[in-house]
């Protein structure tokens, strides 16, 4: 394995385009899309390793992330997506082990989180947009490759003497399937627990008929019939999914100006204060006349404010995760006219059922979930000139705390709208208002009976903000809170925030992210995995790993 300092290169962009894909090929034929993995082993995201056997890294997944999102917006006519491989007798061998071995701990965890959010995006494409996914495994499928298949609606495996599915991380690497494989195995595919245990500790994997019998795959087809079979099944899945629209909306590149400590988009600004380990995210509300009908909204396309602003916010969040690991506290601010935000909410509400409006609503929801799942502290600062109303009030609800200035000479308000009733569900399926008032049944419904604005005293009485302070105390109270947060252990804060943000019931997605945050974060630092004699460190070398066999 190449030896290198575990220092991560910055991610210059999370944007790409099918014309620039290196590792994937996207073909559209009517209502079926073919997404083919053909990873170029000499084109890794950074130097120091080769992407052999269709193994992937962040660059591969940035392209997949783009394809999944682009299909929803640019190709609403697509009702089934086939994911397959171009290499002979191999679909995908999973995340590149040498890449993981030379990466910092933080990069490994963020890489796993990003790939998992992309796979959740595949599942959302099916559940929300009716774009069903079929994994056509044309050969061996291991680790993260099988986790990609698990994210699809159905899995078809070629039957020959070599092709298997496997999750070999435990026996080979001393880590876990980092993108939700264990949870999807038993929660989504409902594989029997004892069979799942046997499967996850069998490095060589499971073939054909046994894989189907254990419910690891849905279809097993001989090589001679494989292409015909997956095309036929894709046509059946497409026919069973309702049509949305014949023409999509272009996913245009974001416009942004990047400086050393500042990124400025059209509606979002991110400022970095590295000395004090904090950043500020400002979201600008809509300005000027906004479209109100589906036709006018689609004509504006990617420049429609709700879509554009949340695409920019999403990009800023990814930048923070990968490129600013020491920025521990994010101050959330908004600027603009609260009435304009509520008018945009009215348009989002009244045009529900239009395919593009629905896609934008679902994109906003996914971006807000990215906030919830980001390992940073968030404080919302509600001050004069703010527009924390409706959809933008979700940012305050997602924050770990919110501070509101009470100054009669500079009035400020917040407002709820019908969009806070559940349009933007959290990962575990509850609205942020319901999470906030989990111990007060009926409180959310009471607040939403009348969409109204709240001044500081009303907001405090309603429980919609954390702290209300007058103009004498506000600045000091916020300053002390910021300084205190910066002094605390980032490890304990990450664990605390992940535990406090998701009260209530769990689902498959929330289990995956909770377990990823806790277990994989822990395992990636243990000597059994990453020590000098750890399994991940020694992978591909003749030496065997040396484990500390004490259970913890």
Q: Answer for the pair 335, 387: CB distance below 8 angstroms, yes or no.
A: yes
Residue 387: φ, ψ to 5°: -140, 50
pLDDT at residue 6 in the model: 61
The pair of three-digit structure tokens given for residue 519, joined into one six-digit string = 């277990």
**Mean pLDDT by groups of 10 residues along the chain of 552 residues:** 56 96 97 98 95 96 98 97 96 94 90 94 96 98 97 97 95 89 95 97 96 98 97 98 91 96 98 97 96 96 98 98 96 97 96 96 98 97 98 98 96 96 96 96 91 93 97 96 95 92 94 80 89 90 92 83
Q: Do 257-500 and 18-240 have the same topology in CATH?
A: yes
Q: Answer for the pair 87, 139: CB distance below 8 angstroms, yes or no.
A: yes
* Strand pairing class (32-37; 80-85): parallel
Question: In whole angstroms, what is the distance from residue 187 CA to residue 181 CA?
Answer: 10
Nearest C-alpha neighbor of 64 from the set 130, 117, 11:
117
Residue 331: φ, ψ to 5°: -90, 125
Tell me, what DSSP letter sits at residue 185?
I
pLDDT at residue 101 in the model: 87
Query: Is residue 28 classed as helix, strand or coil in its secondary structure?
Result: strand
pLDDT at residue 4 in the model: 39
C-alpha Rg value of the chain to the nearest Å: 24
pLDDT at residue 371 in the model: 98
Q: Answer for the pair 200, 242: CB distance below 8 angstroms, yes or no.
A: no
Assessment of whether the complete model's pTM goes beyond 0.85: yes
Question: In whole angstroms, what is the distance from residue 459 CA to residue 413 CA?
Answer: 8
Please state, as a whole number, how many other Cβ atoms lie within 10 Å of the Cβ of residue 166: 25
Q: How many residues does the chain have?
A: 552
Q: Answer for the pair 419, 397: CB distance below 8 angstroms, yes or no.
A: no
Please state, as a whole number, how many other Cβ atoms lie within 10 Å of the Cβ of residue 372: 20
pLDDT at residue 209 in the model: 95
Nearest C-alpha neighbor of 310 from the set 423, 452, 437:
423
Question: In whole angstroms, what is the distance from residue 478 CA to residue 481 CA?
Answer: 5
Nearest C-alpha neighbor of 16 from the set 26, 30, 8:
26
The pair of three-digit structure tokens given for residue 402, joined into one six-digit string = 């919110």
**18-240: CATH topology:** 2-enoyl-CoA Hydratase; Chain A, domain 1 (3.90.226)
Domain chopping of the chain, boundaries: 18-240, 257-500
Q: Give domain 257-500's CATH superfamily.
A: 2-enoyl-CoA Hydratase; Chain A, domain 1 (3.90.226.10)
Residue 360: φ, ψ to 5°: -65, -45
Work out whether the CA dihedral 163, 164, 168, 172 comes out positive or negative.
Answer: negative
Please state, as a whole number, how many other Cβ atoms lie within 10 Å of the Cβ of residue 448: 18
Query: Is residue 155 classed as helix, strand or coil in its secondary structure?
Result: strand
Nearest C-alpha neighbor of 307 from the set 247, 246, 370, 357:
357
User: Residues near 198 by Cβ (< 8 Å), separated by ≥ 6?
Assistant: none
* Strand pairing class (453-454; 467-470): unpaired
Q: Give the chain's largest Cα–Cα span.
A: 78
Q: Answer for the pair 514, 498: CB distance below 8 angstroms, yes or no.
A: yes
């Amino acid at each position: 394995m190449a030896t290198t300092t575990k220092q991560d290169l910055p991610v210059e962009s999370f944007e790409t385009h099918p014309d620039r894909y290196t590792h994937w090929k996207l073909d559209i034929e009517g209502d079926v899309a073919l997404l083919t993995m053909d990873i170029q082993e000499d084109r890794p995201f950074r130097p120091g390793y080769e992407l052999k056997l269709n193994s992937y890294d962040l660059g591969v997944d940035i392209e997949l992330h783009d394809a999944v999102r682009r299909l929803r917006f640019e190709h609403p006519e697509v009702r089934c997506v086939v994911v397959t491989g171009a290499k002979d007798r191999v679909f995908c061998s999973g995340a590149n082990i040498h890449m993981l071995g030379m990466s910092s701990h933080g990069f490994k965890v963020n890489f796993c989180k990003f790939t998992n959010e992309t796979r959740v995006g595949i599942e959302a494409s099916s559940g929300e947009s009716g774009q069903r996914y079929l994994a056509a495994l044309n050969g061996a499928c291991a680790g993260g490759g099988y986790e990609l298949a698990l994210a699809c609606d159905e899995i078809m495996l070629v039957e020959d003497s070599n092709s298997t599915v496997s999750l070999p991380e435990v026996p080979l690497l001393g880590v876990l399937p980092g993108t939700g494989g264990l949870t999807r195995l038993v929660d989504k595919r409902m594989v029997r627990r004892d069979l799942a245990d046997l499967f996850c500790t069998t490095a060589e994997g499971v073939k054909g008929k046994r894989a189907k019998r254990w419910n690891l795959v849905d279809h097993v087809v001989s090589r001679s019939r494989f292409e015909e079979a997956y095309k036929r099944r894709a046509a059946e899945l497409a026919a069973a999914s309702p049509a949305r629209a014949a023409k999509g909306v272009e996913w245009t590149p974001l416009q942004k100006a990047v400086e050393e400590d500042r990124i400025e988009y059209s509606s979002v600004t991110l400022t970095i204060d590295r000395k004090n380990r904090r950043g500020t995210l400002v979201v600008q509300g809509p300005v000027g006349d906004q479209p109100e009908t589906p036709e006018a909204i689609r004509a504006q396309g990617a420049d429609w404010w709700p879509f554009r602003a949340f695409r920019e916010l999403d990009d800023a969040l990814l930048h923070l995760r990968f490129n600013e690991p020491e920025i521990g506290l994010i101050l959330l601010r908004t600027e603009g006219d609260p009435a304009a935000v509520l008018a945009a909410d009215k348009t989002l509400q009244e045009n529900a059922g239009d395919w593009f409006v629905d896609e934008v609503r679902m994109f906003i929801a996914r971006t807000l979930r990215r906030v919830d799942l980001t390992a940073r502290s968030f404080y919302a600062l509600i001050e004069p000139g703010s527009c924390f109303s409706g959809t933008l009030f979700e940012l305050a609800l997602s924050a770990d705390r919110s501070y509101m200035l009470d100054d009669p000479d500079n009035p400020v308000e917040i407002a709820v709208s019908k969009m806070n009733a559940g349009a933007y569900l959290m990962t575990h399926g509850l609205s942020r208002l319901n999470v906030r008032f989990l111990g007060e049944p009926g409180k959310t419904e009471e607040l939403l009976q009348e969409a109204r604005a709240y001044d500081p005293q009303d907001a405090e009485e309603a429980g919609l903000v954390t702290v209300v302070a007058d103009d004498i105390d506000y600045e000091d109270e916020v300053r002390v809170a910021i300084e205190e947060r910066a002094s605390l252990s980032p490890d304990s804060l990450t664990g605390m925030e992940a535990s406090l943000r998701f009260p209530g019931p769990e689902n498959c997605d929330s289990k995956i992210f909770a377990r990823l945050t806790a277990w994989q974060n822990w395992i990636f630092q243990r000597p059994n995995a990453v020590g000098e004699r750890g399994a991940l460190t020694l992978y591909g070398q003749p030496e065997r790993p040396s484990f500390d066999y004490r259970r913890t």
